[in-house]
Each structure stands twice: as C-alpha cells, then as structure tokens.
Amino acid sequence: MTLYNFYLFNPKGKCICYKEWRRDRKREMQEEQEFRLVYGMIHSLRRLVQQVSTKDGQQTGTGLKFVLNSDPEAIGIPELLKSIYQIFVDTVVKNPLLDTEALIESKLFHSKIDELVRNHHAFI
C-alpha cells in the first residue's frame, strides 16, 4: 500500500496545490497538462457517478476538489481526506491574508499535509 500524490483544484479547475510522495514512472507530459487531464477525468467521473449512483459523494460547498491517488488496497483514505480538508480550513481558509482559490504557498499547510500523509498507515 502507498499514497502517491495529492491534487487540490479550485472551482475553475486550476490546480492550487500538488504534492508528490511516490511516482514509479517518469512524467511524460508537462505538469500543467497533467493537472488539466486529472481535473477533466475527475469532472467526468463525478458526472458518471451522479447518473448511476444514489449515494451522495463528499464535496466541498465551495467547489474545491481534493484528489488523493493511492494504492487500491490502502485503507482509511476517506478519513485522511477529511483530515487534509481540516488542515486546509485551519491553515488557509482561516488566514485572511491567503486567497483560497490561488496557488497555495503556505509553508505551514504544506508541512502539515506532508506530516499527516507520511504518518498515515497506508504510506510506505
């Protein structure tokens, strides 16, 4: 089990945070192109799930999308995402000097995410 990477997209589809812990293959495209492809895939999957499922998914009221790529066998991912969201609220949303839709440059946010993920039992 492992945790690979994390994307945070603003409501307009711009990646405002990217963290990578493990990548088995070299990136074959520009980073911005990868971000657009991941966002498009998430958007399409969400629309498909809405059509075939009666269960509600978890989504922020502001339209932010938190994406954590993990091993399929990893457990505790929904709880981990909730913890990441709480870190976002505590370090970005509650900071009046930061724009919640702009690139997140807060060292506190990044260090807390790193610490949380690296201490998670699915992280190898």
pLDDT digit string (tens) for 91-110? 999 999 999 889 999 999 99
* Total domains, the chain: 1
| b/e sequence 64-93, b meaning 16+ C-beta within 10 Å | bbbbbbbeeebeeeeebbebbbebbeebbe
What share of the chain has pLDDT > 90, as a percent? 66
CA distance 67 to 36: 13
pTM higher than 0.85 = yes
Which residue range is the domain that position 100 belongs to?
Answer: 3-118
Is 30 within a domain? yes
Is 68 within a domain? yes
Tokens read off for 73: 């066998």
Is 20 within a domain? yes
Is 103 within a domain? yes
Cβ(85)–Cβ(66) below 8 Å: yes
Is 123 within a domain? no
pLDDT at 69 > cutoff 70 = yes
Is 41 within a domain? yes
Provide the pLDDT for residue 77: 92
Q: What is the CATH number of the domain that holds 65?
A: 3.30.450.70
Is 71 within a domain? yes
Is 124 within a domain? no
